[in-house]
Chains A and B, each alone.
Chain A
């Protein structure tokens, strides 16, 4: 079946450094790629997304890049802060099937 691989599973960075999380998807028909942040005991919250007709999107300290040929997309967080600590999930959505496939998550720890 279709799947999304996400790496790394855990990531520790010093406050102020950058963090990068990478995902690879298998369904070449996927056309929407959201990233979610989930704090402990809370619901996933959408933080940024990108559609397949765009290569890069930025929102303040957060950016997402997409390489359709390689079927890779990445989340970049710059100038990390302790409140960025959470689990981050990527997902690939295919409009033909209306199905989201999620990565297994990355636990980000920002050390003060």
Chain B
């Protein structure tokens, strides 16, 4: 079946502009994660959604970052007033019911460049 998809694949924006990044998880997956991967670095946890529960926002680096997950499926990560240090690849991952398995499946990422 279809894997996790993300759009856009690449985004170039000017400093100070807002951007929205989209993630479509695998159908039926209840858990959804957003990560940030700066060049040559590891994956930094940003936010986690599980079903209809309140999201774990503990990894969001500032109040310029927010995320929503509508209807328990598609998620949007919004970065307001982008800064150059926001340039990175933003990865989304989804997992089935986490009581059954802990595996997560990654999307291809959105490469964000802030000029």
Q: Which residues of A contact B (CB under 8 A)?
A: 6, 32, 34, 36, 42-46, 49, 51, 89, 91, 93, 95, 97-105
Q: How far is the CA of A46 from the CA of B56 in the complex (A)?
A: 23
B25 at the A interface (CB under 8 A): no
| Given A34-B103, A43-B106, A93-B102, A99-B41 contact (CB < 8 Å) | no
Would you give the shortest CB distance from A108 to chain B, in whole angstroms? 14
A45 CA / B105 CA spacing, docked (Å): 8
**B interface residues with partner A (beta carbon < 8 Å):** 31, 33, 35, 40-45, 48, 50, 56, 91, 98, 102-109
CA distance A25 to B31 in the complex (A): 23
9 contacts between A and B (CB under 8 A): A34-B102, A42-B108, A43-B91, A43-B108, A91-B43, A98-B31, A98-B56, A100-B43, A102-B45
For the A-B complex with A44-B91, A89-B43, A101-B45 known, give 15 more contacts whose Cβ atoms are closer than 8 Å: A6-B42, A34-B102, A34-B104, A36-B106, A43-B106, A91-B43, A95-B98, A98-B50, A99-B48, A100-B33, A100-B43, A100-B45, A102-B42, A103-B42, A105-B40
